[in-house]
Amino acid sequence: MTTLISLTYAETDLDALAAVEGKLAVLVTSDGKLDPAGRRVNRLTKQAIARLVESERWEKVKVGEGASLGFPAGLAASALLVVKLDRRPSMKAARKAGASLAKFKAKDNLAVCVGGLGRAADLALGLALRAYEFDAHKTAEKTDAAAAMIYCTKPEEVELEANTAMAVAEGVFFTRDLINEPANILTTQEFSDRLEAMKQIGLEVEVLDEDALEALGMRTLLSVGMGSESPSKVVVMHWNGGGDEKPLALIGKGVVFDTGGISLKPAGGMEDMTMDMGGAGVVAGVMRTLALRGARANVVGVVGLVENMPDGRATRPGDVVTSMKGDTVEVINTDAEGRLVLCDIMWYAQERFEPVGMIDLATLTGAIIIGLGHENAGVFSNSDTLCDAFLKAAGAEDEGAWRMPLGDAYDKMLKSRVADMKNVGGRAAGSITAAQFLLRFVKDETPWIHLDIAGVASVKSDSVLAPKGATGWGVMALDRLVRDGYES
């Protein structure tokens, strides 16, 4: 797994700043005020910070961003970054500042003077998240990641708070690594092995093989992997940190590669389908975070791991398969396979665990990208209470999410001539009819959310907290939801 940057925390030593090697950063408020460290560095550099703050260049710097000075006189540091950030910043601004520091740091050691900054732990989290780099398959010689020192007024308090944030960051990194992995590396077997390895951090992990899935009646899930040499699996992860209450269930689609099956996708862009296990990746990252921070809640994560390939044994358009629930499904399009995986494991989770709530995540439809782009996940729910709680958590963590509609009119689009339902309802409202399909496998008493993360799981350009590629979207929001609503 990609390791987090090494962060250490220490009391600010003004007399030592001149000798700091590597790169150095100080904070200046949006109205130009300097803290003691800023004033000392300003004096050492013969008023270079003051001249910067009075310039037009500084006016163009946004809150949370910075301006750099190369080889500043009076300092041993090779570069100085002056970051615009108020003493009591918003969470978003603090994390953005941390991300700016990570980009400025590059491969060098970094010292950051934050003084008595509020939300220093959020700045540390932003720095850690943006320092991520997936280079597991590059052959260039790798060196240990350079470290960062955070100088502050109460280092013990900041470190204690930041350690919890680093558990979240490690969950995000785990998710990003899984989503970024190529499919010839992250097979269904490798995926399940990595999840089983989390027993070492306190999770209970079970792996159900194809014989067990057949015995349970998970025939829609098994139908997706019929054309693959990789065996289909379901992995169940338990975190029992609460009392005797029923768990929250997190359900993840884990299609390690999606060719579309017999309904073959176009060649252009098919290489991106290594990320079609993004829902399972997020569930895995959340479970890792909960274990690392010792969450006082009961949560179960269930992921279905399959590969959708064309083969003589593959499911054909027009085939009818029977779900674990007992409903029959006419497969109109084998490229609408994610819902066939989810419906069985959703039913399994409800039958076995009777969860207090259930949230499924899937890179399910291209239609959600047409509707919401890459800024928001689509949110579908049968429960205003659970949905509002999730949207609040996502908003608090600045992870974009937008509620979408459900309704009987959309449900009628799934009517089949030969089975209980079709797996697709046509081009119109494609993400909504996919959610309506899943709703048929939600018990009346189960509060449920479906998150279509096709647009946010992996992106083509850098975002504030991540380089291009896997984002880890959802780990922070779901951890926040557990923290705020399910911990005892």
CA-to-CA distance for 162 and 149, rounded, in angstroms?
Answer: 13
Identify the CA nearest to 473 among candidates 295, 253, 291, 285: 285
Q: Which of 39, 51, 265, 392 is catalytic?
A: 265
Q: Say how far residue 349 (Cα) sits from the centre of its chain.
A: 22
Residue type present at position 309: M
Contact 9, 115 (CB under 8 A): no
Q: Which of 176, 339, 440, 480 is catalytic?
A: 339
Q: How many CA atoms lie within 13 A of 281 on its CB side?
A: 30
DSSP conformational letter for 313: T
DSSP conformational letter for 331: -
Contact 73, 45 (CB under 8 A): yes
CA-to-CA distance for 168 and 290, rounded, in angstroms?
Answer: 8
CB atoms within 10 A of CB 86: 18
- Burial label for 177, CB within 10 Å (0-12, 13-18, 19+), is buried
CA-to-CA distance for 279 and 235, rounded, in angstroms?
Answer: 13
39 part of the active site: no
483 part of the active site: no
Helix (H), strand (E) at residue 178: helix 155-180
DSSP conformational letter for 375: T
Q: Which two tokens stand for residue 347?
A: 């039913």
Contact 282, 175 (CB under 8 A): yes
- Burial label for 464, CB within 10 Å (0-12, 13-18, 19+), is middle
CA-to-CA distance for 336 and 423, rounded, in angstroms?
Answer: 7
Q: 280-312 burial, b for 16+ CB within 10 Å, e for fewer?
A: bbbbbbbbbbbbbbebebbbbbbbbbbbbbbee
CA-to-CA distance for 190 and 6, rounded, in angstroms?
Answer: 28
Contact 188, 232 (CB under 8 A): yes
Residue indicated by tokens 């989770």? 349
**Neighbouring-strand partners of residue 249:** 300, 358
Q: Which two tokens stand for residue 92?
A: 């978003």
- Burial label for 119, CB within 10 Å (0-12, 13-18, 19+), is buried
Active centre residues (catalytic): 265, 339
